[in-house]
Structure 1
Amino acid sequence: MKINWGTYIVIAFALFISFIMYFVVKVQSDSKYDNDLVVEEYYKHDVHFQDEMARIQNAHDLKSKPVITVDANGITIVFPADFVLNDIKGTVALYRPSNKKFDFQVPLSFTDSASLFIPKNKVIGGEWDINMEWKYKGKSYLTKEEIYIK
């Protein structure tokens, strides 16, 4: 039996489509391939984008800004000495881009010094996004920074 070249093209397309569908089904059904959004309720989050940009600009306009440093012991966030610590209210959110199960938040609370320390045992090695949101004297601020933990 002789097969026409058009039949070979149809067979090739069918095999290619089967190959692609196999991987689509495998990725969708296997929990190892987590394909969640980075932010829950993405569209609700996106509606407040202009407000977020205003808070980022407020933080950028500060003469003395909070400093985030990473060392062998953990993450240290130091506010400038001219800030009244009792007037600072907010949170520090640490996001792990590769796995949202490791995300957590820490309230901005200061005891004796103008620094907040997050120990290394709370964060695993790799890339982290830090979003620090705070209010000071009625004005809202937002600082976003990317860090890498060894």
Structure 2
Amino acid sequence: MNWGTKLIIGMLSFMTFIIVLAVLMMRSSDDALVDNDYYEKGINYDKDYTKKENVKKDHATPEVSIVNNTFIIIFSQAAEGTVKLIRTADKKLDETMVLKTDTANQFKIPMDGKATGLWKLQLDWKSMGTPYLYEKEVML
């Protein structure tokens, strides 16, 4: 076999590889890393930034712990809002819950049946008329 034949075989192999990758890319499902409401989040970024700054300014960072397979979130004052559990590996497992603290300013989330691994906890609440937003990555 001479060098010309080897060159043609190499080029054909490379072109086949590129075509297979292009076909696989076209058949893949939606990209989980891109939000569907990307532009809306961009427009509302200032509001979210202000809420995050309120957490720092008012020293309102909630305490998050996992005890007996239960998330326990302790707030400094009574709070109402939403809790989002975002699974970074699988968007289908994301959950949104209504947040309302008990008399001890706690909110408990049972973790039974939840997948282990990395989760993103997003707390969006109001306390004493002030809006707050807190995000934290947690490992189950």
Report the TM-score range of the alignment, normalised by the length of the smaller protein.
0.7 to 0.9
TM-score (norm 2): 0.83
1:71-150 mapped onto 2 (5 Å cutoff): 71-80=67-76, 83=77, 85=78, 88-149=79-140
Bigger mean CA offset, 20-29 vs 88-97: 20-29
Following superposition, which runs of at least 4 residues in structure 1 exceed 6 angstroms of deviation? none
* Structure 2 unaligned spans of 5+: none
Q: What secondary structure, in the 3-state scheme, does the structure 2 residue paired with 1:23 have?
A: helix
User: Shift of residue 36 of structure 1?
Assistant: 2.9
Distance in 2 between the 1:4 and 1:64 partners?
71
* Structure 1 unaligned spans of 5+: none
Q: Which residue of 1 aligns with 2:15?
A: 17
| Contact 2:83 2:96 (8 Å CA) reproduced | yes
* Count of matched residue positions in the alignment of Structure 1 and Structure 2: 140
Pick aligned residue for 2:50 from 51, 54, 77: 54
CA RMSD, 1 decimal: 2.4
User: Shift of residue 43 of structure 1?
Assistant: 2.2
User: Shift of residue 106 of structure 1?
Assistant: 1.2
Distance in 2 between the 1:64 and 1:42 partners?
28
User: Shift of residue 11 of structure 1?
Assistant: 4.6
User: Shift of residue 111 of structure 1?
Assistant: 3.3
